[in-house]
Amino acid sequence: MSDNKPQTVYRKDYQKPDYQVDEVDLDFDIHDDITHVTSVMNIHSEHDRSGNVKPLVLDGDELNLVSLKINGKTLKPEDYILDDKFLTIPNPPEKFKLEVKTDVKQKENTQLQGLYDSDGIICTKCETEGFRRITFFPDRPDVMAKYTTTIRADKEKLPVMLSNGNFKEEGELEDGRHYSKWVDPHPKPSYLFAVVAGKLDHVKDNFKTMSGKDVSLNIYCEKGKGDKCDYAMDSLKRSMKWDEEKFGREYDLDIFNIVAVSKFNSGACENKSLNVFNDALVLANPETATDANYKKIESVVGHEYFHNWTGNRVTIKQWHDLSLKEGFTVYRDQEFSSDERSRAVQRIQDVSDLRAGQFPEDAGPSAHPIRPDSYISVRNIYTGTVYEKGAEVIRMQERLLGKEKFRKGTDLYFKRHDGKAITCDDFVKAMEDANSVDLAQFKRWYSQAGTPDVTAKGKYDAKTKTYELTLSQKTPATPDQPIKKDFVIPVEVGLLDKNGKDMPLDIEGKTSKVLKLTKSTQTFKFENVEEPPVLSANRGFTAPVNMNIEYSDKEYAHLMAHDSDLFNRWDAGQQYATKNMLQMVKDIQKGKEPKPDESYIKAIGSYLKDDKLDKEFVAEAMVLPSEKYIADQMDVIDVDAIHKARGVMQKAISVELKDELLASYEKNQTLGEYSYDTESMGKRGVKNTSLAYLSKNDEPKLQKMMVNQYYSAKNMTDRDSAIRFVVNSDSPKRKEILDDFYNRYKDESLVVDKWLSMQAVAPRADTLDKVKELMNHEGFAMDNPNKVRSLIGAFSAGNPVCFHAKDGSGYEFLADQMIKLDKINPQVAAKMLTPLSRWKKLDPERQELMKKQLTRIINDPELSSNSYEVVSKSLAMAKDDKVKGFAKDGDVKGFVSGNKGTGELAHSNEKIGKISIVKQAKQKSNMADLIPRRKMGR
């Protein structure tokens, strides 16, 4: 009998597969309620069989085995062992044909992993371990086979049928059925397999590759939505061109398909030549999508396309190396967007994401290196660390080597590893070998967790006209890694004179320099420095570190006004505002009047008046650091004081800069047809951020502006901004406008999602009641992840004031809903539990309230292993910390044995019974509270 306890999988335990699959011939016979799957595999043994023959172990999850044949001969039940995780054939031949028939009920699959039905479209999601929910297979990335797929279905109900590779043939069958056959010549891991069948709308185009081959491009979506696929198509073509120009990567098949579905657990998946997308990342037109939606579509379409080389042609050996494909591909999509749009603004947005999502992870109990040494649930390593920090680690190699050498490294990488499953070490080795450099110390970025603190101290000597800059690094301890070795940290610096001009740093007159910090402390000397400079450090965010520099308010303002590095100009404003708001929080706590800083407000005012500045930059620079960011800078978070401080600051800006805001609102109108070029997006950004501030001003005339913009808006960007300000205000028009919005867009599911989330994030006393009411609204559905994320997810992750309500009602609500959702879609439930598991920096009362809910959840005898992992690790952290009041080991056992459980293990491997809970409770977690997070795509 199998042991259902989720096991820790260690990177060091890697063993190469005992059997390889060379070819797979799959047949999907799709019927209304059931799909008969036949898989014929050519398998050969890869181990030394002279001593003993190893068993063939195939993965399977919730599968119904119909028959099993080796070389045409049916196996009898005594010839194999079947349990709820594996199909084991003890003594197979050296080389053989294995035929497996399984039945899959796609409509009953609410987990949306494997083969499922998304509102009538039959589709698959195999990454990470979904293929084993379709058929028995060695479901690991280093088993790479060539796939042929035949799909059969009713012609009327499912007219379009797609799979990976090139289209081979199609034809009619009896009883109104038809078939379609696909051949993928490139060996691939099972996680890249896909099948789609449905009634679909379709846009098509084509692309000529750099060697002159024609590729047919198609984007499919639900019926009636075909008019919203043009931007995704445009993004796809630009991605293909960009990859040829920047990385020399050409597409390798006759066809490339994207399918957009409405029910999808993540953002998108890069299945070979058949990318499946959450339709929120494909569908757009000016009436339904905002500028932010357009940008995201471009970057995710690019991301998934770029995976064709970084992930598919060159793939990973084991999941621990996930960052090999994800970090590199995020780097590539960020570079793509930077080349297509404003590089500085892209950098600002990417770093904001990194700071919001990854820094807290790196500072918490779930800290793990970009290449984790172990995991329990593989889905839990889809984190900001693996993705976004992974991208920074690639970018640092580019910065250290320079663009040309970096390209030499990637060329060698692709040449050397094409068609193989490899590791992160192989990537760095290619960089080293192509350029004859030694990156041994740099590689610590792959193995050490934690965000380094880098301190910069400057000393100017007027006599010798030298400036000495001392940089030191220190990385805080993380779970299981108490002592950190020094990293290699590239820090780009510049020096500003009193007029804000960059000073020359060498005889050639260069004004920026990448310093290489390799020790715990190093001093760098600059000569011929004519006057005391203001330091601009970590320009463009060269390294993913926390920079500590003690600036005076005057120096902050100087950098905000003059730094030639736009990223650092923005960051000076962010740090300045944060410093100010943290002081305001302290004042509020002491019962004093909080006082916004005048010179910060003035600096924002001069951005508004500066016509030469990039508009998108101005829009970013006007936005105050988020409540969450401010909270991350505090030892004990005071949600209410932060909210209040930020509100006071917004109000001060709205009052003091009223004239500038009004002028900028007028000046940045975009008349005429909607266009998504950078300039227009920038104008809309500045205009709407100006309106956001004006909406904080109580003057009736200003209050009317947002209402007017709502009704007169010609595109979703303007309408969505306006309604959000109304919804966050006490405007008497609030209800009228919310109703109007719903009635206009009730047939646009993705716009209804916006409507749900704007109500969920409103910091109002009645928000939770409203959210509860919306759970019964026709626009909500618990079995659709987009709906759940838009309502429940937005409330718990995007509304700190209401979620952390003092009476614990927010926590209780999330627990109630996740206990329900866990039965439907455990993957999504587990991810959404994250806000509840992060109690550590809250006040003792709230900590208790959160832990009470966590305890309730863990008491659910039917809890999935996904959710169990998140909750148990969070509670284990309390135990480690000896926080009083926490359920001790014995308590956990007590809860479990008090349950109705019979002591037997549940059958699905998503479920765990009482025995495994007791066992797991003893397991000390080293990666507690993992958040599988992805800006999108993941």
Q: Left (φ > 0), alpha (ψ -120 to 50) or beta: where does 865 sit?
A: alpha
Based on the shown chain and the rule CB under 6 A, indicate whether residue 264 belongs to the binding site for ligand PHE: no
Give the H or E element holding residue 202.
strand 200-208
- The 128-157 site mask, x for binding ligand PHE (CB under 6 A), equals x-----------------------------
Q: How far is the CB of 17 from ligand PHE (least distance, A)?
A: 22
Among 143, 269, 454, 760, binds ligand PHE (CB under 6 A): 269
Q: How far is the CB of 264 from ligand PHE (least distance, A)?
A: 9
Q: For ligand PHE, which is the closer residue by CB, 266 or 926?
A: 266
What contacts 829, CB < 8 A, 6 or more positions away? 818, 821, 822, 864, 866, 867
Contacts of ligand PHE in 835-854 (CB under 6 A): none
- Residue nearest ligand PHE, Cβ-based: 937
Q: For ligand PHE, which is the closer residue by CB, 127 or 620?
A: 127
Q: What is the DSSP letter of 565?
A: S
Q: How far is the CB of 243 from Zn ion (least distance, A)?
A: 14
Count, residues near ligand PHE per rule CB under 6 A? 13
What contacts 858, CB < 8 A, 6 or more positions away? 868, 871, 872, 875, 892, 895, 917
Based on the shown chain and the rule CB under 6 A, indicate whether residue 272 belongs to the binding site for ligand PHE: no
Q: How far is the CB of 280 from ligand PHE (least distance, A)?
A: 14
858 binds, among ligand PHE, Zn ion, none (CB under 5 to 8 A by kind): none
Q: How far is the CB of 112 from ligand PHE (least distance, A)?
A: 10
**Cβ of 820: how many Cβ atoms within 10 Å?**
12
User: Residue 426 has which token pair?
Assistant: 């192989």
Count of alpha carbons within 13 angstroms of residue 613, beta-carbon side: 29
Of the residues 304, 326, 392, 660, only one is catalytic, namely: 304
What does the alpha-carbon distance between residue 553 and residue 559 come to, in Å, rounded to a whole number? 10
293 binds, among ligand PHE, Zn ion, none (CB under 5 to 8 A by kind): none
Instruction: Look up tokens 């407000």; give the residue.
Output: 601
The torsion angles phi and psi of 161, rounded to 5 degrees, stand at -135, 125
Count of alpha carbons within 13 angstroms of residue 455, beta-carbon side: 8
What does the alpha-carbon distance between residue 849 and residue 838 come to, in Å, rounded to a whole number? 12
382 binds, among Zn ion, ligand PHE, none (CB under 5 to 8 A by kind): ligand PHE
Q: For ligand PHE, which is the closer residue by CB, 377 or 729?
A: 377
Beta strands in 503-588, from DSSP E residues, in sequence order: 513-517, 521-526, 534-537, 546-548
User: Residue 142 has which token pair?
Assistant: 């280093």
Q: For Zn ion, which is the closer residue by CB, 810 or 937?
A: 937
Based on the shown chain and the rule CB under 6 A, indicate whether residue 266 belongs to the binding site for ligand PHE: yes
- Single-letter amino acid, residue 851: K
Q: For ligand PHE, which is the closer residue by CB, 186 or 379?
A: 379
Q: What is the DSSP letter of 191?
A: G
Q: For Zn ion, which is the closer residue by CB, 124 or 329?
A: 329
Q: For ligand PHE, which is the closer residue by CB, 298 or 304?
A: 304
Instruction: Look up tokens 């960089």; give the residue.
Output: 431
Based on the shown chain and the rule CB under 6 A, indicate whether residue 332 belongs to the binding site for ligand PHE: no
- The count of residues in the chain is 938
What does the alpha-carbon distance between residue 582 and residue 588 come to, in Å, rounded to a whole number? 10
Among 184, 222, 270, 432, binds ligand PHE (CB under 6 A): 270
What contacts 530, CB < 8 A, 6 or more positions away? 465, 497, 503
User: Residue 790 has which token pair?
Assistant: 């838009």
Report the first-to-last Cα separation within the chain, whole angstroms.
34
Based on the shown chain and the rule CB under 6 A, indicate whether residue 382 belongs to the binding site for ligand PHE: yes
Q: How far is the CB of 311 from Zn ion (least distance, A)?
A: 7
Q: Are strands 19-30 and 145-154 parallel, antiparallel or unpaired?
A: parallel
- The 286-325 site mask, x for binding ligand PHE (CB under 6 A), equals -----------------xx---------------------
Part of the chain binding Zn ion (CB under 5 A), chosen from 421-429, 612-620, 651-659, 930-938 = 930-938
Q: Are 693 and 646 in contact (CB under 8 A)?
A: no
Q: What is the DSSP letter of 502?
A: B
Q: For Zn ion, which is the closer residue by CB, 302 or 810?
A: 302
Q: How far is the CB of 190 from Zn ion (least distance, A)?
A: 17
DSSP letters, 63-106, are: -EEEEEEETTEEPPGGGSEE-SSEEEESS--SEEEEEEEEEE-G
**Cβ of 518: how many Cβ atoms within 10 Å?**
12
Closest CA to 24 of 170, 193, 272: 193
Based on the shown chain and the rule CB under 6 A, indicate whether residue 638 belongs to the binding site for ligand PHE: no
- Clarify whether 304 is annotated catalytic: yes
370 binds, among ligand PHE, Zn ion, none (CB under 5 to 8 A by kind): none
Among 615, 838, 911, 938, binds ligand PHE (CB under 6 A): 938
What does the alpha-carbon distance between residue 429 and residue 171 come to, in Å, rounded to a whole number? 49
Q: How far is the CB of 278 from ligand PHE (least distance, A)?
A: 10
383 binds, among Zn ion, ligand PHE, none (CB under 5 to 8 A by kind): none
Q: How far is the CB of 936 from Zn ion (least distance, A)?
A: 10
266 binds, among Zn ion, ligand PHE, none (CB under 5 to 8 A by kind): ligand PHE
718 binds, among ligand PHE, Zn ion, none (CB under 5 to 8 A by kind): none
Q: For ligand PHE, which is the closer residue by CB, 117 or 563?
A: 117
User: Residue 689 has which token pair?
Assistant: 């951020």
Q: For Zn ion, which is the closer residue by CB, 118 or 329?
A: 329
What contacts 798, CB < 8 A, 6 or more positions away? 757, 760, 761
Contacts of Zn ion in 832-871 (CB under 5 A): none
Q: What is the DSSP letter of 498?
A: T
Contacts of Zn ion in 301-340 (CB under 5 A): 326, 329
Q: How far is the CB of 544 from ligand PHE (least distance, A)?
A: 19
Q: For ligand PHE, which is the closer residue by CB, 130 or 450?
A: 130
Count of alpha carbons within 13 angstroms of residue 74, beta-carbon side: 6
Q: For ligand PHE, which is the closer residue by CB, 684 or 831?
A: 831
Based on the shown chain and the rule CB under 6 A, indicate whether residue 326 belongs to the binding site for ligand PHE: yes
Q: For ligand PHE, which is the closer residue by CB, 130 or 594?
A: 130
Label residue 926 exposed, middle or buried (CB < 10 Å: 0-12, 13-18, 19+). Answer: buried
User: Residue 146 has which token pair?
Assistant: 């060539």
Q: How far is the CB of 329 from Zn ion (least distance, A)?
A: 5
Based on the shown chain and the rule CB under 6 A, indicate whether residue 127 belongs to the binding site for ligand PHE: yes
243 binds, among ligand PHE, Zn ion, none (CB under 5 to 8 A by kind): none
Q: How far is the CB of 326 from ligand PHE (least distance, A)?
A: 6
DSSP letters, 459-485, are: EEETTTTEEEEEEEEE---BTTB-S-P
Long-range (24+ apart) CB contacts under 8 A made by 46-49 are: 46/16, 46/17, 46/18, 46/19, 46/20, 47/18, 47/19, 49/94
Q: How far is the CB of 267 from Zn ion (least distance, A)?
A: 9
Closest CA to 473 of 485, 496, 455: 455
What does the alpha-carbon distance between residue 586 and residue 594 come to, in Å, rounded to a whole number? 8
Among 70, 115, 221, 268, binds ligand PHE (CB under 6 A): 268
127 binds, among ligand PHE, Zn ion, none (CB under 5 to 8 A by kind): ligand PHE
- Known catalytic residues are 304
Residues that bind ligand PHE (CB under 6 A): 125, 127-128, 266, 268-270, 303-304, 326, 382, 937-938
Residues that bind Zn ion (CB under 5 A): 326, 329, 937
